[in-house]
Amino acid sequence: MRRTVAAVVVALSTALSLSASPGTALAGSTGTPNAVDGSTTTSARALAVRALHTATQVLAGRATRTDPSMALLRLRLTMHALTPADRRHAVAILARPTDHPDLYGQTYRVKAKKKCAGHICIHWVPTSRDAPPSRTWVDKQLTMLNNVWTFEVKKLGYRRPVSDGTRGGGSGKFDVYLKELYHQGLYGLTVAEQRTSSNNRLYSSYLLIDNDFKRSQFHADPMQVARVTAAHEFFHATQYGYDAGEDPWLMESTATWMEDQFDDSSNDNRQYLPWSQLRKPGTPLDTFTNGGFEQYGNWVFFEYLSERYGRRIVRSVWKHAAAFGRGGHQFSAEAIHSALHSHGGMTTVFGRYASGNTVPRRAYAEGKAYPAAGSARQVTLTRASPRTPWTTYAVRHLASVNLRATPGADLSGPRWRLRLTVDGPQRATSPAVVVLVTRKHHPATRMIVHLTKQGRGKVSVPFSRAGTRVVTVTLVNASTTFTCHTNGGYSCNGTSKAPHPSFAVKLVAYKR
C-alpha cells in the first residue's frame, strides 16, 4: 500500500499478500529463503492468529498505524498454522475484487467491465460506490498506467512484472482494479499473488487503486495522486519479479524514490523527509517500523545515488538483490554495498551522503526544499576556550552523528586553524569521518579523514572568523555486515555486527 489516508502524515506500504496456498513461504525482511515446515505448535498458531487479526483490522480501516504490507505478509507467512476455517478467512483477505468469497468488501458488488490496451488490463464496475466517475477517467487511467509501464520497464530497464497467465482474463496482461479504497484509509495496494514454477521467490501480482482519487477526499489533483500512486505500486509489482522476500525497507524506499522519477512535478514524497536521515541522521538507513515512516523518508538516499551515478544505480541494487542470476540474491544492505563497489565503495559514498545531508541545498538538485541534518553538539571555540575535551560518540550502523564547531569572534587572524583528532573504531567496521568547511568568501570544501587500521586519524582545516563560517564533522558507521535471521528488524531481519561503535573526538583551535 502506498499510504494510509487516516494517518496524520500519510505512510507508504505494500500489500505483499502472497499466494493463498499453504506450503513453502517467503521470509519478509530476510533476503534469503525460509521454508515453512508446516508445524502447528501453540506459538506458531498464536502468531498466525495474531497476524490474521491484524490483517483483518487493516482491511477494515481500523489499523492506520500498522504497516499493511507487513501485516498481510505476516499473515501469508504464518497462515499454514491456522485452522482450516481461519485459513479460508485468510484466503478471503487476499482475494481480487472479482474473486469470491471476500469477507472485507473487496469484491465488486456488480459485474465488472474490463478494457485492455498495451500491457495493461483495467477492471471497473459501472455502478455502486466502486464505480469510477466516468469512462473518460477509465481511459485516462489505462493510458497513464501504460505510461508507467513504459517508463519503469522500457526506459529504466527493469524486468517486467511476472505474468499471471490467464488470471484476470487478459492473456498475461497486467491487471489493475479500480476500487473505492478511501473508506479503508488506502490509496492503493499491490498484491503479490502466485509463485512462479521455477523460483518460489518470484511472484505475479496485480494492483488495486482508488476509483477516483476524489479531491474532497485526497485533497490534491486527482490525476496527480493517481500518477504517483501508480508509479509506486507498479514498482512493487516489478520488485516481486526480482525477489518478493527482499527486505521491506528497500522495497518501500525505492518505490517512494520511483514516484519522483515518474512525476517530478508532484514532490508528494517530500512529506516523508522529516523521518528521513536528513532529519534523523542517527537512525539506521535500513529501519523499518510498523506505524513509522523512516522506510519511506529514506527514498532520499536513492535520490542521492541516482543524482551522482545515474538512475541505473538503483537498478543495479535490485540486480544484486534478485533471487536469480549470478551474483544476486543478496540482502538489501549487501546489495547496496555491491552496487557501490565501482563508485568508490560503500564507506566513502555513505560518508559523503551523510555529510551532504548537513547542507542539502548543495547536495541535491532540489535540496533547497529539504530539511537539513542536525548536530549532536555545537561548540564555539575562542582564545579563552580553544579546545574541547575528548568526547565519545556512539554511531549506529548505516547512520551518522554530526558535530559543528564555529570560530569565536576573537579568532580573527588568517593563521587560525582547527585540529580534529579522532580515535575511532577499527577499519573493519567501516567507519568514516568527513569534514565539511563552510567558507565565507570561497566554496565549501569537504574531505574524508584518513583513518588508520585501528581507526585513528587527524586533520587540520582553516578556522579564522574572517573566512570560516562553520566546520561540520560527520562521524559515520557504514557497516553492512549483519548476523541474519535474529529478529533484529534491520537488513536480513538481522542484527548489525557493528551496532554502535564509539568515536572519541577532540577539537583544538590553534594559531600557526
> d(Cα 328, Cα 333) in Å, to the nearest integer?
13
Of residues 356, 350, 507, 351, the one with CA closest to residue 438: 356
Helix (H) or strand (E) holding 83: none
Q: Given this model, what pLDDT does residue 155 score?
A: 98
Residues near 198 by Cβ (< 8 Å), separated by ≥ 6?
none
> Cα angle at 303 between 484 and 289, to 5 degrees?
40
> Cα angle at 164 between 158 and 169, to 5 degrees?
125
Of residues 274, 340, 337, the one with CA closest to residue 306: 340
> d(Cα 304, Cα 430) in Å, to the nearest integer?
20
- Is position 449 within any domain? yes
Q: What is the CATH number of the domain that holds 487?
A: 2.60.120.380
Of residues 439, 260, 444, 295, the one with CA closest to residue 363: 444
> d(Cα 405, Cα 413) in Å, to the nearest integer?
17
Cell of 352: 559523503
* CA end-to-end span of the chain: 59
- Is position 364 within any domain? no
Owner of C-alpha cell 512525476: 263
> d(Cα 375, Cα 360) in Å, to the nearest integer?
14
> Which amino acid would we find at residue 106?
Q
Q: Which long-range contacts (CB under 8 A, 24 or more apart) does 355-363 make?
A: 355/400, 355/434, 355/436, 355/446, 355/472, 355/474, 356/304, 357/277, 357/278, 357/281, 357/300, 357/400, 358/402, 358/436, 358/472, 358/474, 359/436, 359/438, 359/444, 359/472, 360/278, 362/444, 363/304
Cell of 350: 555513505
Question: What SS3 state is found at 186?
Answer: strand
Are residues 415 and 511 in contact, defined by beta-carbon separation less than 8 angstroms? yes
Owner of C-alpha cell 524506499: 253
> Cα angle at 190 between 186 and 194, to 5 degrees?
145
> d(Cα 305, Cα 300) in Å, to the nearest integer?
9
SS3 content of the chain, % helix, strand, coil (to 5): 35, 20, 45
- Is position 450 within any domain? yes
Q: Given this model, what pLDDT does residue 394 score?
A: 98
- Is position 497 within any domain? yes
Question: What SS3 state is found at 140?
Answer: helix
> d(Cα 56, Cα 503) in Å, to the nearest integer?
46
Cell of 259: 514516484
Q: Given this model, what pLDDT does residue 371 score?
A: 97
Of residues 338, 443, 354, 462, the one with CA closest to residue 398: 354
Of residues 67, 453, 104, 50, the one with CA closest to residue 292: 67
- Is position 170 within any domain? no
Question: What SS3 state is found at 77?
Answer: helix
Q: Given this model, what pLDDT does residue 326 score?
A: 76
Are residues 503 and 431 in contact, defined by beta-carbon separation less than 8 angstroms? yes
Of residues 44, 45, 54, 65, the one with CA closest to residue 17: 54
Question: What SS3 state is found at 435?
Answer: strand
- Is position 44 within any domain? no
The total number of structural domains that make up the chain: 1
Please tell me what DSSP assigns to residue 449.
Answer: P
- Is position 379 within any domain? yes
Backbone φ and ψ for 272, nearest 5 degrees, come out as -90, -5
- Is position 491 within any domain? yes
> d(Cα 187, Cα 278) in Å, to the nearest integer?
26
Q: Given this model, what pLDDT does residue 150 score?
A: 98
Domain with 394 in it = 374-511
> d(Cα 374, Cα 512) in Å, to the nearest integer?
31
Are residues 351 and 395 in contact, defined by beta-carbon separation less than 8 angstroms? no
DSSP β-ladder status, 120-124 and 174-179 = parallel
Of residues 424, 389, 386, the one with CA closest to residue 406: 386
> d(Cα 138, Cα 151) in Å, to the nearest integer?
20
Q: Could you tell me if residue 339 is left (phi over 0), alpha (psi between -120 and 50 degrees) or otherwise beta?
A: alpha
Residues near 62 by Cβ (< 8 Å), separated by ≥ 6?
none
Consecutive 10-residue averages of pLDDT for the chain (512 residues): 45 31 32 36 81 82 67 73 91 84 76 96 96 98 98 98 88 93 86 85 90 95 96 93 91 95 95 97 93 92 98 98 87 98 98 98 97 97 98 98 98 95 97 97 95 98 96 98 92 95 98 92
> d(Cα 175, Cα 512) in Å, to the nearest integer?
70
Q: Tens digits of per-residue pLDDT, 115-167?
A: 999 999 999 999 999 999 999 999 999 999 999 999 999 999 999 999 999 88
